[in-house]
Amino acid sequence: METVEYDVVVIGAGPAGENAAQYAVEGTGRTAVLVEHELLGGECSYWACIPSKALLRPVAAADVTADLPGVSTAHVATKALLERRDTWVSHYDDSGQVEWANGAGLDVVRGEARLSGERSVRVSPADGADVVLRARQAVVIATGSAAHVPDEYADALPWDSRDATGVVEVPDRLVVVGGGVVACEAATWMAALGSSVTLVVRGPRLLGRTEPFAGEAVLAGLRERGVTVLLGTSVEDVRRAAPEDTGTGRVHGGTVTLTTTGGEIEADEVLLAIGRSPRLDDLGLSSVGLTADDVTDGRLPEWLHVVGDASGGPPLTHWGKHQARVVGARIAAAAAGEVAWEPDREAPVPQVVFTEPEVASVGLTEAQARDAGHEVVVTRVPTSSAAGTGLLRDHVAGDAQLVIDADTRLLLGATFVGPEAGEMLHAATVAVTGGVPVHVLRHAVPSYPTASELWVRLLEELPPSFRTPPPPPPA
């Protein structure tokens, strides 16, 4: 069996894997290889972030025209919208990504990869003989995650997020099971494409990891779109009827019937959006004495690293890329006999939910901060309280909120709900990351009239004592 040596071997060529390889060898003359069994660019580029936002942005633009006088109300053109999606995913052709990798000095090997020993990866291509890749320095696991599909759904042939972002024929009736980010975003674009959408949510609210007021605003937004949202409802059984010929040249896939605690629901398709799991099966972990739990808990030998969804952390592309940059820098520094500089403060994880209204958050929620033992002060204002947001829409839904440590006066978390909320978020992320106290933030002057003036409104709601540094702790 052929053996090829590299300094770094990366299993998985999504954004996290690409960044890890690039940062590990960039400008050093060392070598790295990306091993991928699907498309370079991974889930984000073809089946998640990029296609979903390509679908959602035109929907949001149409919404704006419906809420501003003086412009014609736009409508969503299904064919054009799906064509835009196809353009953004490069028609599922990764040649551009391969060109980028080669330009960055990274080799690409196609096939299924498994660890086969210390610093050793065996690759089985779809056609051709297996090859062993030996890493002189490090192996990085960047295999991503897979949608969770319970066994009881298997015979019903459910959609997962890939089916939703890659939709070709829009079903007349769609049931979405779940109440998180994927469920809420998919319900938004599928309803805009003309599907009659029912959202079945086991919990008492949407977006359960955000502030409650954020989920309430999204719930109202979905219902205004005609989405039926059933909270506190569990699926007890699901079955699909046999396919039938419709007599129009098309074969109907068979009606799906869901038995829930709220009654029966019939649909043409069912989308499962109930979570994802690190893709660590059949990775050969046992060959180096490891289990999947060892990987997600970080119990790894010094030569093995994990980044992105495979690490078990937040399944967000930007977080995976951040992890990859950190790991890549560690590998590069170690090769040079150095230690990479890293901040002493853990990076906060920002997230934007591209619903209507948009939700953007970073750091701790009020409940999380209190559970962590912080005494907190919370300030919240309507998103409409800044002239800049009112100029974006005639009717502005949602609130903005800051969670502040009462003793240190440091920002612990922030949530923005409303038009273009995601563009407000990075300032909060910088403040949390940099440990900027609120009495200093008061002197960061936002431009007028922009939505950023919400920061002034939020900080003005704080007690006057928060306008100066906190008193020193008692001796």
| End-to-end Cα separation, the chain, in angstroms | 70
pLDDT tens by residue, 347-406: 999 999 999 999 999 999 999 999 999 999 999 999 999 999 999 999 999 999 999 999
User: Rounded to whole angstroms, how far apart are CA atoms 242 and 258?
Assistant: 15
- Which whole number is the average pLDDT over 1-23? 97
pLDDT at 245 over 90: no
Please give the DSSP secondary-structure letter assigned to residue 463: -
Distances (CA, A) of 356 to 69, 102, 160, 164, 446: 19, 40, 22, 18, 25
Q: CA nearest 12: which of 359, 256, 309? A: 309
We find that the CATH architecture of domain 357-467 is 2-Layer Sandwich (3.30)
Give me 90's structure tokens.
């490069």
Alpha-carbon 256 to chain mean position: 28
Indicate the SS3 state at residue 369.
helix
What per-residue confidence (pLDDT) applies to 472? 83
CA 462, 465, 469, 470 dihedral sign is negative
- Which whole number is the average pLDDT over 291-298? 96
pLDDT tens by residue, 333-360: 999 999 999 988 889 999 999 999 999 9
Q: Read off the pLDDT band of 474 (50, 70, 90).
A: confident
What per-residue confidence (pLDDT) applies to 438? 96
User: Rounded to whole angstroms, how far apart are CA atoms 423 and 354?
Assistant: 11
Query: In sequence order, what are the beta bridge partners of 11?
Result: 35, 141
Q: What is the CA radius of gyration of the chain?
A: 24
pLDDT at 19 over 80: yes
Question: What residues have CB less than 8 Å from 339, skipping those under 6 apart?
Answer: 333
Q: Read off the pLDDT band of 329 (50, 70, 90).
A: very high
User: Rounded to whole angstroms, how far apart are CA atoms 65 and 62?
Assistant: 5
Give me 155's structure tokens.
């015979």
pLDDT tens by residue, 250-288: 555 789 999 999 999 999 999 999 999 999 999 999 999
What per-residue confidence (pLDDT) applies to 109? 97
Pick the CATH number of 2-41+94-146+277-335 from 3.30.1300.30, 3.50.50.60, 3.30.530.20, 3.40.605.10: 3.50.50.60
pLDDT tens by residue, 176-235: 999 999 999 999 999 999 999 999 999 999 999 999 999 999 999 999 999 999 999 999
Give me 5's structure tokens.
């040596």
Q: CA nearest 117: which of 306, 289, 294? A: 289
pLDDT tens by residue, 112-158: 999 999 999 999 998 889 999 999 999 999 999 999 999 999 999 99
| Degrees, nearest 5: CA angle 128-131-134 | 165
Mean pLDDT of the chain: 95
pTM of the model: 0.94
Residue type at position 185? E
pLDDT tens by residue, 59-95: 999 999 998 999 999 999 999 999 999 999 999 999 9
User: Rounded to whole angstroms, how far apart are CA atoms 404 and 440?
Assistant: 13
Q: Name the fold adopted by 151-272.
A: FAD/NAD(P)-binding domain (3.50.50)
DSSP letter for each residue of 74-134: P---HHHHHHHHHHHTGGG--HHHHHHHHHTTEEEEESEEEEEETTEEEEE-SSS--EEEE
Give the domain ranges of the chain: 2-41+94-146+277-335, 151-272, 357-467
What per-residue confidence (pLDDT) applies to 243? 77
Number of H helices, E strands in the chain: 15, 23
Q: Using CB atoms within 10 A of its CB, is residue 59 exposed (0-12), middle (13-18) or buried (19+)?
A: buried
pLDDT at 248 over 80: no
Hey, do 2-41+94-146+277-335 and 151-272 end up sharing a CATH topology, with the first three levels equal?
A: yes
| Degrees, nearest 5: CA angle 334-337-338 | 75
What per-residue confidence (pLDDT) applies to 346? 87
What per-residue confidence (pLDDT) applies to 250? 54
Give me 147's structure tokens.
């949608």
Q: CA nearest 442: which of 428, 426, 423, 455? A: 455
